[in-house]
Structure 1
Amino acid sequence: MTTTRHLTILTGASRGMGLAMAVQLLDPSRHLLCISRRANDGLAEQARQKGAPLTQWTQDLADTTGSRERLQIWLEGLDTSALKSATLINNAGVIPRIGPLDQCPPEDLANALRVGLEAPMQLTAAFLRATGGWVEAGWRGPRKVLNISSGLGRNAMAAQAPYCAAKAGMDHFTRCSALDEAHREHGARLVSLAPGVIDTDMQSQLRAGDPAAFPDRSRFVELQRQGQLTSPEDAAARLLAWLQRKDFGDKPVADVRD
């Protein structure tokens, strides 16, 4: 990178709200790194048309160690003199088979916790370590971590133990890391932000759940029927606007509806 740019790293960017965020982040003044299981050709074409620097990695975030090492090595190799700021957005997550915990296949449970909690922790650790090295070398741009949480991390729901646990863990590790960074000179700012109820594939998955195993299924059916779901594009805009708030990080766990 020869021009001075912002750097944004976004996981789960190939579809849904993640893709909507990626599209809105495309700009000639920003280098966007998207990390997903598959690349999105349409996003690449939009980036080309806008003259927006875009890098897409195909990476299984369930490989948490590999994801962390890849990101840290990449960050450590960047020319920081060309960067104005650095932001990590942990958006990726999965809902395993819907039902009571004892009916969740062990591999589905492990994958939900790896992708939804361990991967964000590992990527955040890599980001903070690498960019912390930049600060030690004299770089002074702002560093931010935005973790996309959920109201289900703060409110229990039957048949959703793995997802709820991952999001609750995301909230709390954000609180802990925010405390760590507050004690460091030029520390990073972190927020775990619930985006509201969004019309994505996850919502479709919930509405398709077995009523016998998922007592709250009717609630999600009603949300769609009453038109109470936010579009991925609107939700993405609200999340990205939060990143620009002057008080970003003052409250490490928040909700866009606050």
Structure 2
Amino acid sequence: MTKTPHLTILTGASRGMGLAMAQQLLSPERHLLCISRRASDELAEQARHKGALLTQWTQDLADTTGSRQRLQAWLESMDTSGMKSATLINNAGVIPRIGPLDDCPPDELANALRVGLEAPMQLTAAFLAATGAWVQAGWRGPRKVLNISSGLGRSAMAAQAPYCAAKAGMDHFTRCSALDEAQREHGARLVSLAPGVIDTDMQSQLRAGDPAAFPDRNRFVELQRQGQLTSPQDAAARLLVWLERADFGDKPVADVRD
């Protein structure tokens, strides 16, 4: 395997803000592993053009145990000589059917929590375990986990209990894991970061909700009408700037608008 100074793992990289982040992360200095349900031919072509090392896994993150085992085994097999940093970005998420909790089909509810909360927890566990072993073997590069959260994890909204609960859980497990890592020598730094309101397929899904089941629908319609949505490219750039801040991890739950 070609050696690069930096390793970044990104979930949900096939579209929207995830794809924009992946495009901006491509560099000859970085090995980028993208984990999504489908690979992106566009991203692969851009990686070839830039001379960047890109690995794409087609992986259903609802298979949380399989995702964790696959990532941990891959990290444990890596040659870390020459590697300067390792980063995990948990970006993937799912909005289930819009409406009250009792109207959400059981399979959609379970999938939203698996992809939006359990998968990030399992992948973070795999990342911390494998890279922690690198530290025990003498590796001293910075390790970072960036969890892409949402303001909806901090403010309740009708008709989206599963998504709000997943993001709230993401915030809190980040706090807990940050406390764990603070007790370890050369511990990882973790942040659960809300990216603001972004013009993605998720916003389109919310605007298309049934007003009778989704009382906040007009709020999202107005955000688009008034031009208050951030482009995926701009949102991705702001997140990646935050990732490089010297104080990354000092505040484990944050918002790019702070």
TM range (shorter): over 0.9
What secondary structure does 2:247 align onto? coil
Residue number in structure 2 paired with 1:73: 73
Residue number in structure 2 paired with 1:137: 137
Deviation for aligned residue 1:239? 0.2
Residue number in structure 2 paired with 1:41: 41
Deviation for aligned residue 1:83? 1.1
Matched, 1:227 2:227: yes
Q: Is residue 34–residue 55 contact of structure 1 (8 Å, CA) maintained in 2?
A: yes
Residue number in structure 2 paired with 1:60: 60
Q: Is residue 101–residue 161 contact of structure 2 (8 Å, CA) maintained in 1?
A: yes
Deviation for aligned residue 1:172? 0.0
Question: 1:23-49, CA deviations, whole angstroms, 9 ceiling, x for partnerless residues?
Answer: 000000000000000000000000000
Correspondence list, 1:192-203, <5 A: 192-203=192-203
Normalising by structure 1, we get a TM-score of 0.99
Correspondence list, 1:13-24, <5 A: 13-24=13-24
Q: Whole-Å Cα distance in 2 between the matches of residues 112 and 125 of structure 1?
A: 19
Q: Whole-Å Cα distance in 2 between the matches of residues 30 and 80 of structure 1?
A: 13
Deviation for aligned residue 1:5? 1.6
Q: Is residue 206–residue 217 contact of structure 1 (8 Å, CA) maintained in 2?
A: yes
Query: Which amino acid in 2 is paired with 1:207?
Result: R
Correspondence list, 1:125-164, <5 A: 125-164=125-164
Correspondence list, 1:86-101, <5 A: 86-101=86-101
Q: Whole-Å Cα distance in 1 between the matches of residues 212 and 253 of structure 2?
A: 33
Q: Whole-Å Cα distance in 1 between the matches of residues 4 and 164 of structure 2?
A: 40
Question: 1:171-221, CA deviations, whole angstroms, 9 ceiling, x for partnerless residues?
Answer: 000000000000000000000000000000000000000000000000000
Q: Is residue 59–residue 67 contact of structure 1 (8 Å, CA) maintained in 2?
A: yes
Residue number in structure 1 paired with 2:170: 170
Q: Whole-Å Cα distance in 2 between the matches of residues 167 and 81 of structure 1?
A: 36
RMSD of aligned alpha carbons: 0.5
Q: Whole-Å Cα distance in 1 between the matches of residues 173 and 3 of structure 2?
A: 34
Matched, 1:107 2:107: yes
Q: Whole-Å Cα distance in 2 between the matches of residues 4 and 71 of structure 1?
A: 18
After TM superposition, which residue ranges in structure 1, 4 or more long, deviate above 6 angstroms?
none
Question: 1:139-190, CA deviations, whole angstroms, 9 ceiling, x for partnerless residues?
Answer: 0000000000000000000000000000000000000000000000000000
Residue number in structure 2 paired with 1:116: 116
Q: Whole-Å Cα distance in 1 between the matches of residues 83 and 254 of structure 2?
A: 28
Q: Is residue 151–residue 196 contact of structure 1 (8 Å, CA) maintained in 2?
A: yes
Query: Which amino acid in 2 is paired with 1:193?
Result: L
Q: Is residue 72–residue 130 contact of structure 1 (8 Å, CA) maintained in 2?
A: yes
What secondary structure does 2:191 align onto? strand
Q: Is residue 95–residue 202 contact of structure 2 (8 Å, CA) maintained in 1?
A: yes
Deviation for aligned residue 1:135? 0.2
Q: Is residue 14–residue 39 contact of structure 2 (8 Å, CA) maintained in 1?
A: yes
Q: Is residue 117–residue 170 contact of structure 1 (8 Å, CA) maintained in 2?
A: yes
Q: Is residue 11–residue 36 contact of structure 1 (8 Å, CA) maintained in 2?
A: yes
Matched, 1:246 2:252: no
**Distance 1:71-1:20 versus aligned 2 partners, 3 A rule:** same
Q: Is residue 4–residue 81 contact of structure 1 (8 Å, CA) maintained in 2?
A: no
Matched, 1:255 2:246: no
Deviation for aligned residue 1:2? 4.3
Q: Is residue 2–residue 82 contact of structure 1 (8 Å, CA) maintained in 2?
A: no
Using the aligned pairs only, state the percent identity.
Answer: 89
Q: Whole-Å Cα distance in 1 between the matches of residues 73 and 199 of structure 2?
A: 36
Query: Which amino acid in 1 is paired with 2:211?
Result: P
Q: Is residue 38–residue 58 contact of structure 2 (8 Å, CA) maintained in 1?
A: yes
What secondary structure does 1:82 align onto? coil
What secondary structure does 1:141 align onto? coil
Deviation for aligned residue 1:4? 3.9
